[in-house]
Amino acid sequence: MTEAIRVVVTGAAGQIAYSLLYMIARGEVFGKDQPLILHLLDIPPMAGVLEGVVMELADCALPLLQEVIPTTDPKVAFKDVSAAFLVGAMPRKEGMERKDLLSANVKIFKVQGQALNEFAKKDVKVLVVGNPANTNALVCANYAPSIPKENFSAMTRLDQNRATSQIAAKLGVPIAAVSNIIIWGNHSSTQYPDAGQGKVFINDVWKSVTEVLNDTSFLQGPFIDIVQKRGAAVIASRKMSSAMSAAKSACDHMHDWWNGTAPGKFVSMGVFSDGSYGTPKDVVFSFPVEIKNKQWKIVQGLTIDGFSKSKLDITGNELREERDEALSVLES
């Protein structure tokens, strides 16, 4: 039988983790024949809730789940893990400035970066979900110098899934008939959802979304707005933030990183920028990537028109500012 791998989920007592743990333990990320040992990290006030999650996982009677290790100690949580879902973060409270949120979270991700550096496997794949996800991933990687920077990523897959779903609905086709919709930049309201490279499967051939839709004013207007504000729309309706869809997207992200992407298909991931497409270097920027042998590569050679360039600049500038703020917090 295949040897079990250790996977950590932080924020394990929270609402995203509640859906995510079940999806992982069912084999939807690492495969239906890959046994798992799940490490569940949360903070001490949540230890009781965590126990309830452990009970429920046991009661699911999941054949792949060999062991569950709940803990409030990062040393235990990150020990020998092959994959890390960093979901736990300080939530934004009423009256809290964006700066205060960033400051609280970079400190958390510094500690977790240090723990990954010391205790995780050197080829661990780290997905940061907790916000501000891109800058948290950057901080985490900076404090884990023994692990390659390419092993750290931030989640923009939920935005990609939202965008893909909007395009499929607009075209009146099933979701699987739409591919290569890109999210550029930050997982924030400056993100740039771009259908310009998108493909749609109609009458047995893949065609360009822009040509089939032929509606630039939609693609440059309401489409972008809807995707950028979808999180807020879910909160307004559900009175709680996206959880099931966020968990599904975290699974999609790690699944594709682990298993690769099909030829010609790309997905969006927040990864270390090498300056491709004129973006700032050394920020975690969401790009279209292709994945092979667990290594991502930024898709090159896409045409960026003036409209897209201005959008990339806005989100790139925000990431540069976040990075500088994070560094000043960590230096103070």
Report, as residue numbers or ranges, the catalytic residues: 187
Among residues 41, 53, 83, 251, which is the contact residue for ligand NAX, using CB under 6 A? 41
Q: Are 317 and 278 in contact (CB under 8 A)?
A: no
Instruction: Work out whether 14 is an interface residue with ligand NAX (CB under 6 A).
Output: yes
Look at residue 89 and give its three-state secondary structure: coil
Which residues inside 17-36 make contact with ligand NAX, applying CB under 6 A? 17
Residue number of the CB closest to ligand NAX reads: 14
- What are the two backbone dihedrals, phi and then psi, of residue 331, each rounded to the nearest 5 degrees? -85, -20
How far apart, in whole angstroms, are the C-alpha atoms of residue 33 and residue 323? 40
Output the six-digit token pair for 298: 């930024």
Q: Are 51 and 70 in contact (CB under 8 A)?
A: yes
Between 84 and 200, whose beta carbon lies closer to ligand NAX? 84
Which residues inside 79-108 make contact with ligand NAX, applying CB under 6 A? 87-91, 108
Q: Are 320 and 280 in contact (CB under 8 A)?
A: yes
Instruction: Work out whether 131 is an interface residue with ligand NAX (CB under 6 A).
Output: yes
Between 90 and 177, whose beta carbon lies closer to ligand NAX? 90
Bond from prior residue into 91 cis (ω within 30 degrees of 0): no
> Residue 98, annotated ligand binder?
yes
Q: What is the β-pairing status of strands 205-208 and 199-202?
A: antiparallel
Among residues 147, 158, 183, 254, which is the contact residue for ligand NAX, using CB under 6 A? 158
Among residues 5, 243, 302, 329, which is the contact residue for ligand NAX, using CB under 6 A? 243
Name the β-bridge partners of 172.
none
The number of helices, as runs of H, and strands, as runs of E, in the chain is 12, 14
> Residue 42, annotated ligand binder?
yes
Look at residue 101 and give its three-state secondary structure: helix
Q: Are 320 and 282 in contact (CB under 8 A)?
A: no
Instruction: Work out whether 42 is an interface residue with ligand NAX (CB under 6 A).
Output: yes
Instruction: Work out whether 110 is an interface residue with ligand NAX (CB under 6 A).
Output: no
Instruction: Work out whether 54 is an interface residue with ligand NAX (CB under 6 A).
Output: no
Among the residue ranges 14-22, 143-151, 167-175, 190-198, the one whose residues contact ligand NAX (CB under 6 A): 14-22
Instruction: Work out whether 242 is an interface residue with ligand NAX (CB under 6 A).
Output: yes
> Residue 26, annotated ligand binder?
no
Q: What is the CA radius of gyration of the chain?
A: 19
How far apart, in whole angstroms, are the C-alpha atoms of residue 149 and residue 156? 18
Q: How far is the CB of 127 from ligand NAX (least distance, A)?
A: 9
> Residue 313, annotated ligand binder?
no
Instruction: Work out whether 195 is an interface residue with ligand NAX (CB under 6 A).
Output: no
How far apart, in whole angstroms, are the C-alpha atoms of residue 85 and residue 69? 15
Output the six-digit token pair for 312: 């990339």
Among the residue ranges 57-65, 130-138, 144-152, 194-202, the one whose residues contact ligand NAX (CB under 6 A): 130-138
Which residues inside 275-294 make contact with ligand NAX, applying CB under 6 A? none
The residues binding ligand NAX (CB under 6 A) are 10-11, 13-17, 41-43, 46, 87-91, 108, 129-131, 133, 155, 158, 187, 241-243, 246
Name the binding residues for substrate: 92, 98, 131, 162
